C-alpha cells in the first residue's frame, strides 16, 4: 500500500469523452463528529512510511495463492514494525491514553482485560490509572516482549500477560470489570477481531461492566479518482504493449487501503452501520445497509470510500476519533472500492444502492463485500452489482 498520487480535484461540469476532472468546486461540509482528545497538542506531522516491495519473495505467486490472512495473522503481529506503526499513530494511541488518564474513576481498583494487548501499551495505561489488576492477552510472540516491557516498567504486580487465544486461555479470575481493546481493522471489520472481543465480553464481563470503546460506526462516500484508478487499475490493459487485463479483474476485486484527499469527495457522507459493542451479537457484524449518496457538485465518480469512527461514551465527556478523509490521518487510512463504471453525476443527483458485508466463509478474518448501485441521472444511467474481498 503506497501513498496515492492524488488527481484532479474539485468540481467540474462533466462532458462526454472527458476522462478526468478539474476545477474549483467547493468540498461538502463535514458532518458533525466527536472531537479527538488531544490535550498535549500531538498534532505534529509524522513522516509517513511506505512499504517497499524490493524484498518481496519472488516465488510468491501473484494470483491463486492459498495463503490467506488466517495463516499469517498472528505471526504478522510478532514483528515489532507493525506495533511501531500503531504506537506512532497518535490519533489512535493518544485517544486511548486520554480516555484512560482523564477517566481514572472508571479504572480505579477495577479488574481489566486487555484483548489483543500487543506491546501492552493499553495495559500500562490502565495500570498507571489505578487498575487493581490487568490481564493482557496476546496470541503472537509479542506476548514475550510485553512481559519484558511490563517488568521493565515495574508493573509485574499489576499486569499479568497471558499468551494465547482469548477463546482458549484460562483467565485466573471468573470475571472482569472492564474490557479494553484496539480491535478495529481496515474497513473496521477486516481481521474479524471484533468477534473475539464479543466472546470475551460474554464470558467474563460483569453485569453493567464496561467495554472500551463501546460504539463503532461505518460510513460511505463517493470520490473522483481518475488519475489513481488509471495508475492502479487501467494500467493492466496495456503493459509494455501486452494485454494483462486478467490481472485488472483481480485488482478490481480487492479494495485499496489508502489515504484519500478530502477534495476528491463528490457526495455527502452516509452512515451505514452503528455497532454498540456492549450489546451487539456476533452475527451483527454481518449486515446489508442501504445508501443514498447525493452529489454536491458536478463531477465524475470512480470509487466509493468507506471509513469508520469509534466512540468512548462512558467517559466524563464523550471521546473518540474518525478515520475519515476530513480527519487527521491514521494508520487505518480509508478503504477504496473502485467501480467498473465511470459515473457522470450532476449536483443533486443521487447514487443509490446497498452494501453487504460478511466474513468470508473459508477464512473468517477476510471480509466479503457486495456492492449494488444505480444512478439514473441526466448524463448517466447505470445499474450494477460488484463483489470485493479484503484479504
191 catalytic? Reply is yes
- DSSP-based helix, strand, coil % in the chain, nearest 5: 25, 30, 45
Which of these is catalytic: 191, 224, 296, 349? 191
Secondary element (H or E) of residue 259: none
Q: Which of 143, 132, 257 is nearest to 191 (CA)?
A: 257
Buried residues in 349-386 as b, exposed as e (16+ CB within 10 A): bbbbbebebbbbeebebbbbbebbbebebeebebeeeb
Query: Is there a contact between 272 and 188 (Cβ–Cβ < 8 Å)?
Result: no
Place of cell 488531544: 38
For 143, residues 6+ apart whose C-beta sits below 8 A from its C-beta are 117, 161, 162, 163
One-character DSSP codes across 298-365 = SEEEEEEEEEEEEEETTSSS-EEEE-STTS---TT-EEEEEEEEEEEE-TT-EEEEEEEEEE-SS-TT
Catalytic-labelled residue, pool 44, 167, 168, 182: 182
Q: Which residues carry out catalysis? A: 182, 191
Amino acid at each position: 500500500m503506497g501513498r496515492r498520487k492524488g488527481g484532479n480535484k474539485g468540481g467540474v461540469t462533466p462532458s462526454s469523452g472527458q476522462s478526468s476532472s478539474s476545477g474549483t468546486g467547493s468540498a461538502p461540509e463535514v458532518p458533525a463528529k466527536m472531537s479527538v482528545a488531544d490535550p498535549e497538542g500531538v498534532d505534529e506531522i509524522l513522516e509517513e512510511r511506505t512499504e517497499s516491495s524490493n524484498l518481496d519473495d519472488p516465488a510468491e505467486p501473484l494470483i491463486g495463492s492459498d495463503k490467506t490472512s488466517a495463516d499469517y495473522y498472528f505471526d504478522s503481529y510478532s514483528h515489532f514494525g507493525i506495533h511501531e506503526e500503531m504506537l506512532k499513530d497518535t490519533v489512535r494511541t493518544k485517544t486511548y491514553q486520554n480516555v484512560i488518564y482523564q477517566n481514572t474513576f472508571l479504572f480505579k481498583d477495577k479488574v481489566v482485560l486487555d484483548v489483543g494487548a500487543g506491546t501492552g501499551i493499553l495495559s500500562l495505561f490502565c495500570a498507571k490509572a489505578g487498575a487493581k489488576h490487568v490481564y493482557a492477552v496476546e496470541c503472537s510472540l509479542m506476548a514475550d516482549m510485553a512481559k519484558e516491557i511490563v517488568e521493565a516498567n515495574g508493573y509485574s504486580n499489576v499486569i499479568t500477560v497471558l499468551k494465547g487465544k482469548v477463546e482458549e486461555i484460562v483467565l485466573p479470575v471468573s470475571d472482569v470489570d472492564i474490557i479494553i481493546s484496539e480491535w478495529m481493522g481496515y474497513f473496521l471489520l477486516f481481521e474479524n477481531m471484533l468477534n473475539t472481543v464479543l466472546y470475551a465480553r460474554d464470558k467474563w464481563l460483569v453485569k453493567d461492566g464496561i467495554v472500551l470503546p463501546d460504539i463503532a460506526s461505518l460510513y460511505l462516500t463517493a470520490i473522483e479518482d481518475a488519475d489513481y484508478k488509471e495508475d492502479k487499475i487501467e494500467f493492466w490493459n496495456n503493459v509494455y504493449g501486452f494485454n494483462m487485463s486478467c490481472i485488472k479483474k483481480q485488482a478490481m476485486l480487492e479494495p485499496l487501503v489508502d489515504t484519500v484527499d478530502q477534495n476528491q469527495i463528490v457526495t455527502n457522507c452516509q452512515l451505514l452501520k452503528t455497532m454498540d459493542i456492549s450489546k451487539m451479537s456476533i452475527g451483527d457484524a454481518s449486515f446489508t445497509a442501504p445508501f443514498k449518496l447525493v452529489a454536491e457538485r458536478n463531477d465524475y465518480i470512480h470509487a466509493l470510500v468507506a471509513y469508520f469512527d469509534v466512540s468512548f461514551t462512558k467517559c466524563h465527556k464523550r471521546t473518540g476519533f474518525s478515520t475519515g478523509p476530513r480527519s487527521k490521518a491514521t494508520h487505518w487510512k480509508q478503504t477504496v472500492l473502485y467501480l467498473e463504471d465511470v459515473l457522470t453525476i450532476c449536483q443533486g443527483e443521487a447514487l443509490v444502492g446497498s452494501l453487504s458485508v460478511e466474513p468470508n466463509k473459508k477464512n473468517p478474518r477476510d471480509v466479503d463485500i457486495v456492492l449494488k448501485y444505480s444512478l439514473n441521472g441526466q448524463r448517466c444511467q447505470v445499474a450494477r452489482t460488484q463483489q470485493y474481498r479484503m484479504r
